[in-house]
Chain A
Amino acid sequence: MRNIIAICKRELLSFFVSPIAYFVITGFTLLVGFFFFNYFSLFLRMYQMSAYLSMRGMPLPNLNQTIIEGVYQTMIVILVFLVPLLTMRIVAEDKRRGTFELLLTSPVSVFEIVMGKFLSLAVIIFAMLSISFIFPLLLIVYGAPEVPPILSGFVGVLLCTLGFASIGMAVSSFTENQIVAGVSSMVTLLLLYVIQAPAESLDGTVADVLRYLSPVDQVQDFVRGVVTLKATVYFVSMITLGLFLSQRALDALRWR
């Protein structure tokens, strides 16, 4: 445990000494703020037209559906591009500058290295998402949305981001080139993001499987306020898979 914390602390120090963490967090907050503003204006416009809408028998705009769902789903898209920037250096940099030789010749297990590094990513991601939580918080303070879906949605987005990070870390473990790691994880996450697209023209089991694999669909449950076992298992499996692959990649290094 001490080793895991030591490695985690060291990674956090690296994140905040180099400008990466600041840039990614600032960029994320900026983008989420922009989209929040857009969804908010959309809601206002719909609200102003509500008399007209109800006359035509159409449903009235709902704060949760219009703004919260929109913002949370947009966050996932932004994270597909930003998470790889956080994870690309996590292992690759150690390999390139030779510090990996220090870690591997110290009494530290590969499991501890992987967990320490992942923990540092989790801390950064939690901080990043918490800062963006200010936008839903504004709604809670000044409006009257349903609060539980906002909270469960946050948990869903957090789990999804941790899943992305663990996949990014696995990719970073397979190379010593940060750019290769960054681009590959971006492509992997983007593919995962659009994986349900072929399901439109397919049916049967294949379509069901593709839909299940889509993080968008899984987050949707959380955002609607339904914490399902199915979605939880999905994200926990994604995190575990990434950690397992990282461990495997680093174990393989030990046995060249």
Chain B
Amino acid sequence: MIEVKNLCKSYGDYKAVIDVSFSAAKGDIVGFLGPNGAGKTTTIRMLSTYLPPTSGTATVAGYDVIAQADEVRRRIGYLPENPPLYGEMTVREYLKFVGEIKGVARAQLASRIDEVLERCFIKDVRNKLCQHLSRGYRQRVGLAQAIIHHPQVIILDEPTSGLDPRQIIEIRQLIKSLGQDHTVLLSTHILPEVSMVCNKVVIISRGRVVMESRLSDLTRDKSLEQVFLESVSHDEVVDAAACVNQGA
């Protein structure tokens, strides 16, 4: 479903992403793990066709993110780090608009909206303006927006950041349930989140992939925590330790 080969992105002299390669099969929930500033968001933006890569290739749902960008856009649901909400629209109006531009058939639009309202637990705020929503609700509306057109691949950039513990648990359950019929790629800097939600992990540090593994292979002889601390470079250990503690 997702195939990334030697992906690079540089801004002038600064290399944000260096030679990143990994893959995700159908039904995988991949945790894209790394300290802050490791290049997670940049990679995700390239996969969502928002940013063009400097070099390398990436295919999503079988289509190239550059040459067949429009086909990719039809097949992905994408939640950026800050949910892209229009504050002056109600949740329902907003979802209708997103459904329209994502190409949901007119006849199905109303039922799709009801379905995602239900699924993301935002039915009770459907007539509220987006600008009046709390952080947790904004995040959930962002998720609803990402799945309204039933995409094959769902890409989530730090979906649980800034939420309170209860909301985090709810969002994680939601993501887990999405994994049944979608491929999910989610970035996070919180370690335990990966072991709770994902079945595959890709660790990125300073723009490079340092490890890619199925979670089941990993936990057999070493804990994810150990692997993570070993694989990120030394001066990042402090940062990495923070990631471990944050989830604990």
Contacts and interface: CB of A to CB of B under 8 A. Distances in A.
Interface of A: 2-3, 6-7, 9-10, 13-14, 17-18, 97-109, 254-256
A2 B100 contact: yes
Contacts of A108: 101
Given A106-B73, A107-B102, A14 B50 contact: no
Contacts of B73: 105-107
Interface string B76-110: 10101010111111000100011011110000000
B49 interface: yes
A10 B70 contact: no
A57 B102 CA distance: 71
Contact of B50 (A9, A13, A18, A105): A105
A103 B50 CA distance: 9
A107 B70 contact: yes
B50 A107 contact: no
Contacts of A109: 70
Contacts of B102: 106-107
Given A2-B100, A107-B101, A98 B76 contact: no
Nearest to A17: B88
B48 A105 contact: yes
A13 B52 contact: no
Nearest to A2: B100
Top 8 closest A-B pairs, CB basis? A102-B84, A6-B100, A17-B88, A107-B73, A99-B84, A107-B74, A105-B48, A106-B101
B100 A3 contact: yes
A6 B97 contact: yes
B52 A256 contact: yes
B86 A3 contact: no
A3 B101 contact: yes
Nearest to B142: A102
B145 interface: yes
B51 interface: yes
A255 B65 CA distance: 13
A121 B52 CA distance: 31
B103 A107 contact: yes
Contacts of B50: 101, 104-105
Nearest to B93: A13
Contacts of B82: 98
Nearest to A5: B100
Contacts of A107: 70, 73-74, 101-103
